[in-house]
Chains A and B, each alone.
Chain A
Amino acid sequence: MKFSVLAVGLLAGGLASAASAQDVLRIATEGAYPPFNNVTADGELVGFDVEIAEALCAAMERECEIVAQDWDGIIPGLVNDKYDAIIASMSITEERKQAIDFSAPYYSNYLSVVGADGTTATLEKLGDVSIGAQRSTTGSQWAEDTYGNRADIRLYDTNPAAFSDLSSGRVETVVADFLPAAAWVKDNEGFGFVAEKIDIADQIGIGVRKGEDALRDDLNTAIEAIRADGTYQTISIKYFGIDIF
């Protein structure tokens, strides 16, 4: 008996919660993409994206709630109004633009190939070795588009899982965004960048639902504001030692 009450309570609570939370800006991040966003042992979200989100909220003078959402479901979740914006180092791509809108970019990115020292892979020959990447990222999509869907491309649910298989030697290379790759290479001796960097004209923006133009404009203004007052640079230097805008 007690359990059926519990179930009904959950049903009612779950369906009601979304509509009432209009004033709080709900922001999703992945929480598995250090140093941009990850979760500590105490369940706290930290990282560059998280601090940028907090700075943007301060600049917009809005109350924000930041939630973790796994990468595969992050765009469907936005489309279905689970939250209002995605600040999760998401590249602005044509495919994604068909589903959601983006703010102006808040940093630029290019892809890089990481492997053990001594690996001699060139971009032409990368299709012959195993390539690890996170599923549904620009990295995995670039690999699929370049080497075809029958190359040995291993897709992982998170970025650390791909790097962990690289460090154990299970995959020979990992294609990932440059900055998190650089952070990982710094902590892992014996690994480095093994091919020239890949410029895919990749810019990172904030995802918003289609048609939410007011929110997008507010976010764009806020990005300019935190650039102008130096908040952005402080956060960027704290994480990367350079301004990554």
Chain B
Amino acid sequence: MYQDLKFWVSDTICAGLSPISGPLFAKTCSRFIDGFLVTTELLALACGIGFFLAIALTFARVSGRSVLVWPAQIFVYVFRGTPLLVQLWIIYFGVGSLGEQGLGPVLWTFFKNPWLVGLLVLTLNTSAYVSEIFRGGLANVEKGQMEAALSIGMPWLRAMRRIMLPQAIRIAWPAYGNELILMMKGSALISTITVMDLMGQTRTIFARNFDLNTYLYAAILYLVLAACISVFVAVMERRFRRSVGR
């Protein structure tokens, strides 16, 4: 159902583009747009879930309780210290090689699916980087505000969430915008675990026609996506500024 809707969207876009596209692109358009939609969808989900996971991680890291601080610190350290491609391959090919016997039927239904594994790794990876960005933002919020909130009896978590976090996010917003673009570029790697994202489609097309223009078309589509992300970041930034002024 949903899959059909995506195919319909991509066919409609291709039909619309056909008068202006060259012969190579017209022939492979539905592949490119199918891949483009998969990339967009994974990115939106990974960044959306990763955003909240990053907040949880950041709170754990500044909570001052070693049961929370250490696991969160180690998580962030490992995910920022190793390449995304290694993380993908450890989880898809490495953990996946344990199979149903090693993982049990519930976990296996998850690890079986390359799309879900890709989403998982992208989410964990981005949450580690974003948590580092938010922590930097928190460090730049004036400490007195937290003390003031606690002194009027506000619980720690609520003070963090209501007072510190919104300011930290506002300060860290440009860095967060950069991370979104980096994530978009990193997502191309999920093509190595058989997900047919934009890069996966591109490599498959090139494998048949050996035409370097294939990569140029893909580059243009990635630039379109990057432009959309930049616009989103800028619009949000303007909204923040307005709410500060109020």
Contact = CB atoms under 8 A, between A and B. Distances in A.
Q: Are A and B in direct contact (Cβ within 8 Å)? A: yes
Interface of A: 72, 75-76, 79, 95, 99, 132, 135-136, 140-141, 144, 149-150, 154-157, 161, 164-165, 167-170
A118 to B, nearest CB: 15
A170 B200 contact: no
Q: Which 5 A-B pairs have the closest CB atoms?
A: A136-B207, A154-B194, A168-B99, A170-B112, A135-B207
A144 B28 CA distance: 13
Contacts of A72: 203, 207
Given A99-B210, A154-B194, A168 B100 contact: yes
B89 to A, nearest CB: 10
Contacts of B208: 95, 136, 141
Nearest to A100: B210
10 contacts: A72-B207, A76-B210, A95-B208, A95-B209, A149-B31, A150-B7, A155-B204, A168-B97, A169-B99, A170-B112
A155 B114 CA distance: 11
Interface of B: 7, 30-31, 34, 93, 96-100, 108, 112, 114, 192, 194, 196, 200, 203-204, 207-210
A133 B156 CA distance: 54
B210 A75 contact: yes
Contact of B96 (A75, A141, A155, A168): A168
A189 to B, nearest CB: 14
Contact of B200 (A95, A136, A155): A155
B100 A169 contact: yes
B198 to A, nearest CB: 14
Contacts of A156: 194
A150 B93 CA distance: 24
- Name the residue among A72, A132, A144, A169 with the largest chain B CB count within 10 angstroms: A169
A170 B34 contact: no
A164 B203 contact: no
A132 B196 CA distance: 13
Contacts of B96: 165, 168, 170
- Name the residue among B7, B97, B98 with the largest chain A CB count within 10 angstroms: B97
Contacts of A168: 96-100, 112
- Name the residue among B99, B112, B114, B194 with the largest chain A CB count within 10 angstroms: B194
Given A154-B194, A157-B192, A164 B97 contact: yes
Nearest to A171: B194
A157 B189 CA distance: 13
B93 A155 contact: no
Given A132-B194, A157-B192, 13 more contacts: A72-B207, A95-B208, A135-B204, A136-B204, A136-B207, A136-B208, A144-B204, A155-B204, A164-B93, A169-B100, A169-B108, A169-B112, A170-B112
Nearest to A99: B210
Nearest to B103: A168
Contacts of A161: 93
A161 B194 CA distance: 10
Nearest to B98: A168
Contacts of B99: 167-169
Contacts of A132: 194
B114 A154 contact: yes
Nearest to B10: A150
A136 B206 CA distance: 9
A134 to B, nearest CB: 10
Given A72-B203, A168-B97, A168-B99, A150 B34 contact: yes
Contacts of B7: 150
- Name the residue among B7, B31, B207 with the largest chain A CB count within 10 angstroms: B207
A96 to B, nearest CB: 9
A6 B208 CA distance: 37
A151 B233 CA distance: 36
Contacts of A141: 208
A136 B204 CA distance: 7
A28 to B, nearest CB: 16
A136 B202 CA distance: 12
A135 B194 CA distance: 10
Contacts of A150: 7, 34
A155 B98 CA distance: 21
Nearest to B205: A149
A30 to B, nearest CB: 14
Contacts of A164: 93, 97
Contacts of B97: 164, 168
- Name the residue among A144, A156, A164, A168 with the largest chain B CB count within 10 angstroms: A168
